[in-house]
Amino acid sequence: MFTTRIQLTLSLTVATLVASACMPMSKKVGMDYPALVQDDVTTFQAFFEKRFPDTEKADYINGVYSIDADARSQWESLEEFPPYELSVDQGKALYETPFANGSSYATCFGDGAVRSQYPYYDEDRAMVITLELAINECRTANGEKVLKYKKGDLAKVSAYMSFVSRGQAINVDVASEGAYNAYMDGKEFFYSKRGQFNISCADCHMRATGFYLRADVPSPGLGQTSHFPTFRTKWDALGTLHRRYGGCNENIRAKAFSAQSPEYRNLEYFQTVMSNGLVFNGPGSRK
Amino acid sequence: MNQSRRQFMTRVGKSVAFLVAVVNLPRVVWANWSASAFGATDLDTAIVERYGNLAIADSDAIQLKAPSIAEHGAVVPISIATTLAAKSISVFVEKNPSPLSCSFNIQPKMNTDVSVRIRMGATSNLIVLVEADGKLYRTSQEVKVTIGGCGG
Amino acid sequence: MKVKASARNGSVVVKTLLAHPMETGRRKDGDGKLIPGHYITEVEANHNGERVFHCELGPSVSKDPYLAFSFQGGNSGETFTMSWVDNKGENESTEVEIR
Amino acid sequence: MININTLLSSLVLSLMLALSGLASAAEATNATQMIAEAEVMNKAAGEIGYEWRDTASYIADAKKALADGQEDQAYQLANEAYEQAKLALEQGKLMRENWQQYIPM
């Protein structure tokens, strides 16, 4: 089980041979996008089913703990008093505090249990809208300044909204050409090797998941976006999915993109689509 | 109240949930802390400072639950249970700068089943000593602590 | 201090998280100066005037110490007291309702 | 257990092998020129989204060394940055064309 060792030169040859047969046909009008995407979802989820036959599909929302019993028992012990609990309380307080103009987050999001409405592709604006982006847009629409995207108050509000949305099904639609292009952009990001280490998301979270990479078992790529924001022991704080993306990219010695950049929003879109059929269970706690 | 009352009050704000009331300082004499044992910098000294020269025997009447590989050295969850008539239970991490981590003094109505989260600076033996019948009973386990990597 | 206590099979099962930095005295701040040790040294619980839990802690217990234990007696609806003190003499005490 | 160091060096090595000869070497003869070339190359890698993590700090270090009068060290640092940026650009071009071939089965 060591496909990552494939020499790039070799892959390059293979690539040239089959490239013409497999090049994306994504830009054509009138294609059955939901069917194309469903094929990808099925293939992607089957990869993990084959790799971890003992793991229930629904359990992938628990990340690496779905495949590592020793780590799981430590995590379960930590969840006795989840380290994000205080942040959720603070997020609730922020959520309920009125803005200067008298409205509040509830004006935009009702009771806040809207996690499963994000991310989605906004046809008018031709871009993916994430929950964190929507939170800040709610603020600016009400005359408040934007919050930082990686941690702090925005992560807390997002954590609260995720908490009250726990159990909502992940079911992201990709129904238009624009949506499909954003999806394909995220897909390309996920499978492209980058950085000085020449590693893709898929190298760690598909090929190497379940194996040790130095001291760590990379989590399965399936279910990764279900449990953010996440409180990491390493951060000693709550962080958003895009903060984690930035950390991952730096680990492979690639320059990270900004949180809520088109690259990371499209990656979140693709990854969430891949987890269709699971449920949102954020906020999470991780090492 | 004295100065600690003020510090105490600042902490009250941080306490949430589950609490029905905050009461006055208890009628407790805080004078039991084994400073010399907690200050010891090697395992043998720490044990002697804590327990004198009681005989030590390995025992399988102590159940120690600890990870084989710690997720993070800053938070290593451990649980200890024993059927011995324990007077105290102490946790030592051999390679920590101060090996004695914590010590439970068993009270008449207290069950001998405890959990705690400790720090481990490096891969090390975790040693649990149970004091019972004027002797020390021991169980131990290695816990690997890794650094670096990308964090799952 | 967060405490969850529930009566179960004649015992009260207690899980508690004590908000405390647990500074080891070995860490350095941004200027390279040692941050003085600041850690909880003792934790205890009292029920009906009787001590039912006592633990001595060193600085190698994790930040925001988590402790779980159980004691005999005590019924749902009753209360007991959880208290801690640290090496600077700061302390906190809380009355907890058993569920 | 996968040894990632072996893995990484094999990957980086194979990347370098794959790319050697594809890009022309820098023609700079002094540190100032080398820094300028590294900046151009790194900008090109960044424009397609493939800038590496440390390249910009090598360039910054090179500038600092140059300002301190350490011409040789500045040249070395800028050269390292240039080589990194060159590989990053080639990596990006390669991936943009061929990423579909890297989907694990």
Give D-chain residues touching A250 at CB under 8 angstroms: 53
Q: What is the dihedral of CA A69, A70, A71, A73, to 10 degrees?
A: 80
Chains that touch C (3 or more CB pairs under 8 A): A, B
| A195/D49 touch (CB, cutoff 8 Å), yes or no | no
What pLDDT score was predicted for residue D28?
74
Task: Give residue-wise pLDDT tens across range B116-145.
Answer: 999 999 999 999 999 999 999 999 999 999
Cα A70 vs. chain centroid, distance in angstroms?
Answer: 24
CB-nearest to B150 from A75, A89, A248 is: A248
Measured over the CA atoms of residue B7, residue B8, residue B9 and residue B12, the dihedral's sign is positive
Whether C46 contacts C80, CB under 8 Å: yes
Please list the alpha-helical segments (H only) found in A2-84: 8-22, 33-51, 69-78
**Residue in chain B lying closest to C86 (CA):** B30
Average pLDDT for D31-46: 97
pLDDT at A14 over 60: no
Query: Which residues fall within 8 angstroms of residue A81, CB to CB, at 6 or more apart?
Result: C2, C15, C17, C66
**3-state SS, residue C44:** strand
> E strands, D5-59, where?
none
Distance from CA of D64 to the nearest CA of A (A): 21
Q: Is A91:A109 a contact under the CB 8 Å cutoff?
A: no
With 0-12 / 13-18 / 19 or more C-beta atoms within 10 angstroms meaning exposed / middle / buried, residue D72 is: exposed
C8 touches chain B (CB under 8 A): no
In contact, D11 and A9? CB cutoff 8 Å: no
Beta-carbon separation of D101 and A188 below 8 A: no
- CATH topology identical between A33-82+168-286 and A85-163: yes
Using the beta-carbon criterion (under 8 Å), do D18 and A211 form an inter-chain contact?
no
Which tens digit of pLDDT belongs to each residue from C34-83? 999 999 999 999 999 999 999 999 999 999 999 999 999 999 999 999 99
Q: What is the pTM of this model?
A: 0.80
Closest CA to C71 of C83, C56, C84, C54: C54
Spatial separation of the C-alpha atoms in residues A240 and A230, rounded to whole Å:
6
pLDDT tens figures, A246-279: 999 999 999 999 999 999 999 999 999 999 999 9
pLDDT of residue D25: 57
Region at C95 (left for phi over 0; alpha for psi -120 to 50; beta for the rest)? beta
The Cα A81–Cα A76 span in angstroms is 9
Within 8 A of C58 by CB-CB distance, chain B residues are 38, 98, 100-102
For chain A, domain boundaries: 33-82+168-286, 85-163
- Greatest distance between any 2 Cα atoms in chain D: 54
pLDDT of residue B113: 96
- Helix (H), strand (E), coil (C) string for chain B: CCHHHHHHHHHHCCCCCCEEECCCCCCCCCCCCCHHHHHCCCHHHHHHHHHCCCCEEECCCEEEECCCEECCCCCEEEEEEECCCEEEEEEEECCCCCCEEEEEECCCCECCEEEEEECCCCCEEEEEEEEECCEEEEEEEEEEECCCCCCC
Tell me how far apart the alpha carbons of residues A240 and A223 are, in angstroms, rounded to a whole number: 15
Domain boundaries, chain D: 4-99
Interface contact D52, partner A, CB < 8 A: yes
Chain C positions touching B19 (Cβ under 8 A) are 1, 3, 94-96
Over range C15-22, report the average pLDDT.
Answer: 93
List, in sequence order, the alpha helices (H) in chain A: 8-22, 33-51, 69-78, 85-96, 105-109, 131-141, 153-164, 177-191, 201-202, 241-251, 262-274
Residues A148 and A135 sit within 8 Å (Cβ to Cβ) = no
Query: D with C: 3 or more CB pairs under 8 Å?
Result: no
Range scoring the smallest mean pLDDT among A193-202, C27-36, D43-52: C27-36
Average pLDDT over all residues of chain A: 90
Pairwise CA distance, residues A208 & A51, whole Å: 10
Nearest to A232 among B67, B148, B151 (CB): B151
B22–C96 CB contact, under 8 Å: no
Alpha carbons D71 and D33: distance in angstroms, whole number:
11
pLDDT for residue B151 = 61
Task: Mark whether B and A touch (3+ CB pairs within 8 Å).
Answer: yes
Residue A22 has pLDDT above 50, yes or no: no
Q: Most B CBs within 10 Å: which of C46, C63, C92, C93, as the mutation test of the B interface?
A: C92
The pair of three-digit structure tokens given for residue C1, joined into one six-digit string: 């201090």
- CATH of the domain spanning A33-82+168-286: 1.10.760.10
Catalytic residue list contains A22: no
Query: What homologous superfamily does CATH list for A85-163?
Result: Cytochrome c-like domain (1.10.760.10)
Better pLDDT: C84 or A27: C84
